[in-house]
Structures are given as structure tokens and as C-alpha cells.
Copies of this chain bind each other. A is one copy, B any other.
Amino acid sequence: MSETAFTFAQRVSRLKPSMIRELMKLMGRPGLVSLGGGLPSAASFPAEALRAAAQCVLSQAPREALQYATTEGLPALREWVAERLRQRGLAVQATQVLITSGSQQGLDLVAKLLLEKGAKVAVESPTYLGALQAFAPYEADAVEVACDEAGPLPESLHEVAGARALYLLPNFQNPTGRCIPDERRIAIANQAKKQGLALIEDDPYGDLWFDQAPPPPVAAHWPEGTVYLGSFSKILAPGLRLGYAVAPAPVYDLLVNAKQAADLHSGTFAQHLVIELLRTGMLDTHLGEVRAQYCLGRDAMAQALHSYMRDLATWQVPQGGMFFWLTLAPKIDAAALLPQAIEQGVSFVPGVAFFATRPMHHSIRLSFVTEPADRIEQGVAALAQVIRRALATQSGQAQ
């Protein structure tokens, strides 16, 4: 008899739990000011509208809404996504839209098609942690593209020549909050096209703008070379687990096959609920409310950072999305401060979690959408104190 019935595939060594998901377990601590997780504000969920939608769907079409469905997703939802993207400047047909179980699944499926051992995938620096996690089991090596405040540097893309794809999050990026300007999008698309470098464009936050909508997607400038991923998590509710992938024809068919093997199709009932919600026309009003609420959070955090942190960190004020990105003094190791911060009643995510290869240890991601304004101020003040104490201790040690 063998003790070890299980022999694992080599890729298992690449599987790592997310630092953020591990943090979420701590964040259940009562009273903790959560500036850590990327949880959308629960106050923004359209619970009443969903209640009405559930009644409607389960009265009018219970058999369809509870049955298996086609892998591609429900036609009405695919059509809605295509129309919405057309309004944003991306020429898309419903036949190119695959409904996914959140945009995280879109990342997994694209990685399954494109990545393998010995291949490279290029990412921003820093980049979305969940993308690094999704790519990891496929054993490609993630390489970082040089970035400035406006995003990846087009002239640096030649350094990742031969990569299977460049993963981009152009709108209010997680973690930096950065929005890539239109000219830069065009330059990146042109350079990628020249190199034959495929793009994976991830856009969960594009609708969460404060003053003006972001420029058209990068995909608009190179549709044949881009897989575009979107999500209903940040505009309706993450608990429905619905997102979408848009891809040019040959990639699309493979994505559908991969999706079918992975989970047959996404939730039928959840898709019916969202179709019913969208049919009522509530989305634009709802989005207006979410934007106004998140803008208040952004303003509260900008104010609190100015009050408590202006000698401790630098940052850009984000024009949408959910996050501030702080750069501290280089001698600070943000991860080492986390236990003290939690003790002082505030959580954050150490920036080191978001780098593929060259971690910046003195960086921090703060979310401004989970907590109300007064608690944001309280959390930032507590965090400032922790950082200040660390700086004092280190100065003391240096003497």
C-alpha cells in the first residue's frame, strides 16, 4: 500500500494562495477599518431591483432560468454586451461575446489557450495580482514591461518580443488607479500590432469613472489581436459571478471549448437576473449613484492622505476605480507593517503582492470604496501613525 496515492503535475508548484484572499480572512475582525480588500461597497448593490428581477424571472421563465444553457451564454446578454462595447468605440458582434464566471475566469481561459512552459507573458509593473495567479498554473514566465504614470512604455515593448501576450488593465488599474491616456493606448496598440504581440485587455473598472469616461479600449485600435475582458462584478454585484470575454473569431471558438471543459457554462439564473435588470433600464441611474458614492470615498481618502501622510508617501489621485497607490520611503517594508496596522485597527495590501518579478517593497494599495468617509479618515490616520513609528524606529536603529 502506498502512502502517497497522489502524484501531482509539475504545475502544482506554481499554485499560490492570494495574499489578498488570505487577508480577507483577517478582515472579518470586527471593527477593523478595511482599506485592504478590493470589495465593492455593499451599499452599492441593487438588492431591491434584484428582488424584483428574481420574482419576475422565476414567475415568467423558471424552466429556462434553472436549466443547463449553452456554453457561450444567453443571447440577450451577449447582445447587450456587444451593444455596450460598440457605444464605447469597440466594433463587436454578439457572436464574439462569451459569458464567463467573472472576469477572473476570462483570465484563466485565455491563459489556458496561450500559455505553457517555456513561454513568456508580459505584464505591467505593478499588475493585478489575480492575473498573476491565473497565469501561474500554465507555467509561462511573467515578465514586466517598463511603465510610467501613463502606463506601459510603447518603446519598451520590444524588450518583451516573443511573449505570447501583453496583459493590460488600462482603466483605473488595480493596484495603481492609473488610467492610460488615449494617445498612449494608440501607441501601445500600434507597437503591439507591429510586433505581432497579442493583447489581453482587462476592464473591470471602466464604468467607475468620476469626471469623464475613459478613452476607447485599447482593443478598438487592434481588435484582431486583442482579447477584451469585462465584468458585472463592479457595476452590479460580484456575488453573481458574471463577466465576459470578447475575442476575434479563431480565438473565440477555442475559448468556448475551454469554457465548456471548465464548467459547461456560467450561471443560467444569474444571467437571467442580469438580463431582467438591464431590461428595466436601471443600469445608468444605478451607475450614476455608484460613481457618486465612490467619488465621495476617493475625495475622503485624498483629503485624509493630504492631512496625515503628505510627508510620508507620494500618490496620484485616481480619476475612477477603487484604489490609491502609495509610494513610501524606500527603507520601509510595507508588508512588515501589516501586523501592526491590523493591531491599530486598519488593513491595507502591501504593494509587493502586485509585482511579477521586481517587487517594490515600499508601496501600499488602499481601497476607498469599502468604508464610509469617516472611517476612511480614521484608517488613514491610524496607518500614518504606524508608518511614522516605523520610520522613527528605523532612524533610531540607524544611529
Residue ranges of A at the interface with B (Cβ–Cβ < 8 Å): 1-12, 15-18, 21, 24-25, 37, 39-40, 42-43, 45, 47, 50-51, 54-55, 58-59, 62-71, 101-102, 104-105, 108, 112-116, 119, 130, 133-134, 136-138, 164, 192-199, 222, 224-225, 233, 237-241, 250-251, 254, 256-258, 260-270
Contact = CB atoms under 8 A, between A and B. Distances in A.
Given A15-B261, A239-B268, A267-B267, 6 more contacts: A6-B251, A37-B68, A39-B67, A47-B62, A102-B263, A239-B267
Contacts of A6: 113-114, 198, 225, 250-251
Q: Which 10 residue pairs spanning A and B have beta carbons closest together?
A: A2-B196, A239-B268, A47-B62, A5-B225, A42-B63, A66-B237, A54-B54, A9-B116, A15-B257, A66-B239
Contact of A266 (B37, B40, B65, B241): B241
B138 A108 contact: no
Which of A6, A21, A267 has most B Cβ within 10 Å? A6
User: How many copies are assembled?
Assistant: 2
Nearest to A162: B7
A240 B269 contact: yes
Given A63-B42, A68-B238, A198-B6, A262 B21 contact: no
Contacts of A101: 101, 241, 263, 266-267
Chain A interface SS verdict (over half): helix
Nearest to A42: B63
B137 A261 contact: yes
A262 B105 contact: yes
A69 B239 contact: yes
27 contacts: A5-B193, A5-B196, A5-B198, A5-B222, A8-B113, A9-B119, A9-B138, A12-B254, A16-B257, A17-B257, A21-B71, A21-B264, A37-B68, A47-B62, A47-B63, A47-B66, A54-B55, A65-B239, A67-B238, A67-B239, A68-B233, A68-B238, A108-B263, A112-B137, A133-B260, A133-B261, A240-B268
Contacts of A104: 261-264
Contacts of A251: 6
Contacts of A25: 70
B268 A269 contact: no
Which of A43, A137, A256 gathers the greatest number of chain B CB atoms within 10 Å? A137
A39 B268 CA distance: 14
Contacts of A102: 263-264
A5 B55 contact: no
Contacts of A225: 5-6
A50 B268 CA distance: 14
Contacts of A263: 101-102, 104-105, 108, 241, 263
A66 B42 contact: yes
A42 B108 CA distance: 31
